[in-house]
Amino acid sequence: MHQFYKLTITAIDPQPNAVVWTLDIPSDLQDEFDFIPGQHLTFKQMHNGEELRRSYSICSSSLRKDQLNVLIKSVEGGRFSEPAQSQYQVGDQVEVMPPTGHFALQPKNGQCYVAFAAGSGITPVMAMIYATLEQTDDAQFILFYGNSTSGDILLHDEIAALKDQYQGRFSVHFFLSRQKVDMPFNHGRIDHGKVTFIKDHFLNQLEVADYFVCGPGEMIDAVCRSLELLGVPQENIHNERFLSEGQEISLADKTIKEDAGITVTIDGANHRFDIKAGEQATLLESAESAGVDLPYSCKAGVCATCRCKLVEGEAEMINNYSLEQWELDAGYILSCQSVARSSKIHISFDE
């Protein structure tokens, strides 16, 4: 499940400062690449002798089992995202890990879902919109989507087509921060003032099942805090941050304080190895040194590709930008951010 497969790019669709790759999913891999809307794919590529991994959210409908779309936003100097814009061609193969991620929506009939997205934060939300409209009879989706200018709006044609096709069930409100617009409401970033206005004027008659928030950290913090202040229970607010390529997140002290025996369960097999007091290593790094191949992408606490369950022992998680409270309560940790804090530890990637 956590291995990489070679997939072929069958279409490349230019977007503002981004591309959408369509990947062919052969019939024997369709179960493996089945996804929950909101999940992402991890890509692996060698660059000057170094292995790069990057995660990009699936932005297509899950009805098509034979293809998946991912949107790759160009980041200046991005070692994966820049070549993705210009060097890859239809017919090229890329190495891809099956979908992972817990920022996900399995829509139900009769429910109303709301998303706040900014920039490329639209990508996981797009798959959620498709699922809500295509896989239920009557569920509704309301999207509030912020960009700098109208020319920066990603997936604009798809959003417009869905709006036409599903009138009454899908509505979208665009916000532009660097372009004049007629309605003051639609000008500016999505911030506390906007969220309060939206809650009072657009959502006051609605019972919203879940809120999804995706974009830069500042926007996520503002929207989530505002929703909580406005009385939305924390468990109904879900967010996913993204890390720009090259953006580093530092790990404070990852010194292991006592010798420990580690057991890792993954894909039905147990792997055992020891770590020594004084070493500087996260659980993911210790496993890598011991030759145990674990899933990861950002190594920064953001993507949750490395999520596992702490079955036994104690670990200190230094950064967490992705796990929600219920996951922490259930014992999930990010192995790329966790340091052993007991002499015996068992983590599992199978739960």
303 touching ligand FES, by CB under 6 A: yes
65 close to 25: Cβ distance less than 8 angstroms: yes
Q: Choose which of 296, 310, 318, 338 interacts with ligand FES (CB under 6 A).
A: 296
Is 57 a binding residue for ligand FES by CB under 6 A? The answer is no
Q: By CB under 6 A, which span of 87-95, 107-115, 199-207, 301-309 interacts with ligand FES?
A: 301-309
Q: How far apart are CA 318 and CA 301, in angstroms?
A: 9
Q: Is 266 in the site for ligand FES (CB under 6 A)?
A: no
Query: Which range in 6-14, 20-28, 222-230, 296-304 contacts ligand FES by CB under 6 A?
Result: 296-304
Nearer to ligand FES, 260 or 300 (CB): 300
Q: Considering only 83-91, 129-137, 180-188, 303-311, which stretch makes contact with ligand FES by CB under 6 A?
A: 303-311
Under the binding rule (CB under 6 A), the answer on residue 298 touching ligand FES is: yes
**In 10 A of CB 237, how many CB atoms?**
21
Q: What is the DSSP letter of 35?
A: -
Among 23, 299, 332, 338, the residue binding ligand FES under the rule CB under 6 A is 299
Burial class (CB in 10 A: 0-12, 13-18, 19+), 52: middle
Applying CB under 6 A, among 127, 131, 262, 336 the residue interacting with ligand FES is: 336
Q: List binders of ligand FES among 124-163 (CB under 6 A).
A: none
Would you call 321 exposed, middle or buried from its count of C-beta atoms within 10 A (0-12, 13-18, 19+)?
Answer: buried
308 binds ligand FES, rule: CB under 6 A: no
Q: Which is nearer to ligand FES, 142 or 318 (CB)?
A: 318
Q: Locate tokens 């997140």: which residue? A: 249
Nearer to ligand FES, 287 or 336 (CB): 336
Q: Interacting stretch for ligand FES, rule CB under 6 A, among 172-180, 204-212, 252-260, 293-301?
A: 293-301
Among 105, 306, 333, 339, binds ligand FES (CB under 6 A): 306
- Nearest in space to 154 (alpha carbons), one of 170, 172, 167: 172
Residue 167 neighbours by CB under 8 Å, 6+ apart: none
Q: How far is it, in rounded angstroms, from Cα 50 to Cα 121?
A: 28
* Closer by beta carbon to ligand FES, 190 or else 306: 306
Question: Phi and psi dihedrals of 219, rounded to 5?
Answer: -65, -40
Does 304 help bind ligand FES (rule: CB under 6 A)? Answer: yes
* Count of chain residues binding ligand FES (CB under 6 A): 14
Q: Considering beta carbons, is residue 304 or 347 the nearer one to ligand FES?
A: 304
Tell the burial category of 182 from Cβ atoms under 10 Å away from its Cβ (0-12, 13-18, 19+): exposed
Which residues fall within 8 angstroms of residue 282, CB to CB, at 6 or more apart?
251, 254, 335, 336, 337, 338, 339
Q: Does 332 bind ligand FES (CB under 6 A)?
A: no
Please classify residue 135 by burial: count the beta carbons closer than 10 Å to its beta carbon, then call 0-12 exposed, 13-18 middle and 19+ buried. middle
Task: Please give the residue ranges that form the binding site for ligand FES (CB under 6 A).
Answer: 296-306, 322, 334, 336
